[in-house]
Amino acid sequence: MSEESTTPDLVQLTRDWLEAGTSGDLDRTLSFLGPEPVWDMSPMGMGVFEGLVAVRGFYLDWMGAYEDYRIEAEEIHDLGNGVTFAIVVQEGRPMGSLGTVQLRYGSCAQWVNGKAVRVWNYTDIDEARAAAERLVHERG
């Protein structure tokens, strides 16, 4: 009889989380976060959002600016100790526009019991990777 792992697959969870973001289902998207998440956009110059209410507000403002929106990962890595690093691409058509915009960035997430409790997003992908690697060592 084989034993099933109780350790969550953080790569698949991240992929499912991004899929939820593309679907536009905000409640499903937020269900991947812990009860008191920290969404840190300060490396992108946009501040830090603490708690589900603040993160929900950020998501509503961000995703609500687009008529067509999608988000997917080029890469996702489980670095160990509950840390993931991803290269993410968002593409959308701003409200009232015929053109699209694209944002490619690095994202580092800290996971506890299958929930993202803190997320950092960086325009500099190498900086995001270094931050994720530091976090792995801090948590080790």
Q: Give the model confidence (pLDDT) of 50-106 as tens digits.
A: 999 999 999 999 999 998 999 999 999 999 999 999 999 999 999 999 999 999 999
Q: In this structure, which amino acid lies at residue 85? A: F
Record the pTM.
Answer: 0.91
Q: 10-139: which CATH number, 3.40.190.10, 3.30.70.120, 3.40.50.720, 3.10.450.50? A: 3.10.450.50
- Quote the pLDDT of residue 2: 44
Flag whether pLDDT at 3 surpasses 70: no
Q: Quote the CA–CA distance of 10 and 57 in Å, as a whole number.
A: 25
- Quote the pLDDT of residue 70: 95
Strand order in the sheet with 33-40: 48-50, 33-40, 115-122, 101-112, 83-94, 66-80
Coil, helix or strand at residue 60: helix
As to burial, measured by CB atoms within 10 angstroms (0-12 exposed, 13-18 middle, 19+ buried), residue 96 is exposed
Q: Quote the CA–CA distance of 92 and 63 in Å, as a whole number.
A: 9
Residue whose token pair is 């099933």: 4
- Quote the pLDDT of residue 7: 72
Q: What percent of the chain has pLDDT over 70?
A: 96
Query: Structural domain boundaries of the chain?
Result: 10-139
